Amino acid sequence: MDNIKYIVVGLYFLFMVIVGFLFKRLNKDENDYFRSGCQGTWWMVGMSLFMSSISTQTFVANAGVAYEAGFSILFIYLANSVCYLIMFLGVAAWYRQARVTTFAEIVYDRFGLGFQQFFSYISMITLVLYAGLGLYMLSLFANTVFGFPLVTLIIAIGFIVLIYTLAGGNWAVLAGDFLQSLIMVPMILLMAFLALKEIGGIGSFFSAINASEEISRDFAIVTKGRQDGLYGGYWLLGNGLVQVFIILGMGGGHRFFACKDGKEARKAALFCMVVSTVCALVYFIPPMVARLLHSESVMQTGLTAPQDISYAYMSKLLLPNGLLPLMTVAMFAAQISSLDTALNANSAMFIKNIYPEIMRLFGKKPSQDHKFLLKLGRLFTLFFGLMVIVFGVYFAKNAGEKGIFETAFRVTGTLTLPLFIPLFMGFFIPKTPQWSGCLSSVCGLCGSVVSLRLGFSTHILALVVSASSSSAFVFSIVFWKGYNSSKKELISRLFSRIHRPVEFSDEIGQDNDSVLFKVLGILAFALGSMLWFFILFPNTLENKLYIILVAGFVQIIGLLLMLMRKLLKSN
């Protein structure tokens, strides 16, 4: 019976590969491959956006923060929800109405070719680094559960994700994210319920926190008294600013490029906000309960940063017999949504923004053949996938003693933040010269270098970068009045375009709603049917009920999608 858990995980990966090949037929050219032909529905794009906002980092590194500091980490996830609310109020529609395939194309229109190329190369590097880090964290979780060698897991999982993304492109990303969320969301809710049940309910949870002066101090939203400043006011502010700049900046809305129009994009943002807020309130209950009830066991695991496996520890302790591999599948789902996005986005940037300039550099005309560009896109998806695996192995050998969260945040703060601040400000402050992006980014990078040289912590680094980069951008406003009129016109045309609604029937044509309802409905029902397999494990009646609830939830969603197809066809 113990071998069933390996069969379940193997069947899950086989299922995701099948999803990739099923949606391969929708990719007629590179625009389908990179942005789903602008035919994505709000519920697909919204759930994909939610899945891309979480990763194994949520359940490994950030769970470690929840174990140490309790409610402090909740601030970051609620900041995400506020960003999605702002997107719903209009920003999401702007992204779709930009009518582009990659966010680097918006960067070109706003800041010019030089900054676009600089941004594209740096973004590709940071996306690969971050995806490699995520692959490492996913493998760390699987290693904790199954005991397989860490490096072997990184290579195996990396290749499976690569095959699935390589085949289906952005259609596979959207469909895969939606289907995987049907496992992720009920498992998150179940884990929170079981953790609260373990400690005796919500009342007992808060009573246990208040009973310990140390834990009560550590679990405060703003932690005071730590010499390293972690989880204090500056930590919250630094992390919050990073989330705002990255999510609301020009690089944060590429999911909306796949939407049918601006209205669909706004609905997707609202849907993501609702799901994100609900899940944020329960994500970190298990690691907090681990601190309250099982701190000695967690600390005795022998790892460099044992708090990072607190969620995995609680999963092994609380889940009914047989559901542990399903929790592992949920972790796979969380990280795969980030990995496939990184591969697809990087390939899109290369094909749309870098390849043409390389050809022109050598005096040749870039190919406009859609089939050639589709093949080239798949080739570079393969290349970036291999690079992600290489960096995943690197992170496995050099994680450091500060925990994975600090490693991830330092990468983000040092390289990504100086780029995303001008992308954020340039979207909301139109009257600055094109070179304002370069000035802002360079000043931010200088702030990063100075902070690293002075040994500042990562949250202080984020504040220094935010202040230096945003100040430089605002300073450039004084040069707008005397700026070149032709370049002013280019910027003006961009903002006129993003405020002009998309006419779907005229610009895109026919949608794929009927096909999506049918295929995803059948796949969701089949996925739910597979989950009944867990009933074979020996369990109490109560634990079998939990399995039935999870499987039934997935099947009901599948039936609803098939019903929606019938209603659509009847109309």
Among the candidates 378, 402, 426, a domain finishes at 402
pLDDT 10s digits, 304-321: 778 888 998 899 899 988
In a domain, 214, yes or no: yes
Res. 523: pLDDT tops 50: yes
**Residue whose tokens read 């870039």:** 366
Cβ atoms 507, 21 nearer than 8 A: no
- Answer with the residue of higher pLDDT: 522 or 427: 522
Segment 218-238 mean pLDDT: 82
| Together in a domain, 398 and 516 | no
For residue 490, being part of any structural domain is answered with no
Final residue belonging to a domain, choices 356, 378, 402: 402
What's the pLDDT at 300?
Answer: 84
Helix axes 310-318, 61-69, angle to 10 degrees: 90
Establish if 200 belongs to a structural domain.
Answer: yes
pLDDT in tens, 161-172: 888 777 778 788
Q: What does the pLDDT average to over 228-253? A: 81
User: Whole-model pTM?
Assistant: 0.88
Final residue in a domain of this structure, among 402, 430, 461? 402
The CATH number given to whatever domain includes residue 383 is 1.20.1730.10
Same domain assignment for residues 394 and 518: no
Q: What is the C-alpha end-to-end distance of the chain, expressed in Å?
A: 49
pLDDT band per the 50, 70, 90 thresholds, residue 145: low
Range with the largest mean pLDDT of 20-34, 145-159, 438-452: 438-452
Lowest-pLDDT range, 34-43, 89-98, 557-566? 34-43
240: in domain: yes
Domain residues for 363?
Answer: 4-402
Q: Tell me the pLDDT of the chain averaged across its residues.
A: 86
Residue 413 has pLDDT above 80, yes or no: no
Alpha helices by DSSP H, 87-149: 92-97, 103-111, 113-146
Say if 217 falls within a structural domain: yes
Q: Does some domain include residue 128?
A: yes
Same domain, yes or no: 394 and 532: no
pLDDT, residue 208, reads: 94
For residue 235, the model assigns a pLDDT of 87
Same domain, 150 and 28: yes
The residue type of 99 is R
3-state secondary structure 172-216: HHHHHHHHHHHHHHHHHHHHHHHHHHHHCCHHHHHHHHHHCHHHH
Specify if 56 maps to a domain.
yes
Buried b / exposed e along 372-390 (16+ C-beta atoms within 10 A): ebbebbbebbbebbebbbe
> From CA 496, how far away is CA 374, in angstroms rounded?
30
Q: How many domains does the chain have?
A: 2
Chain-centroid distance of CA 384 in Å reads 17
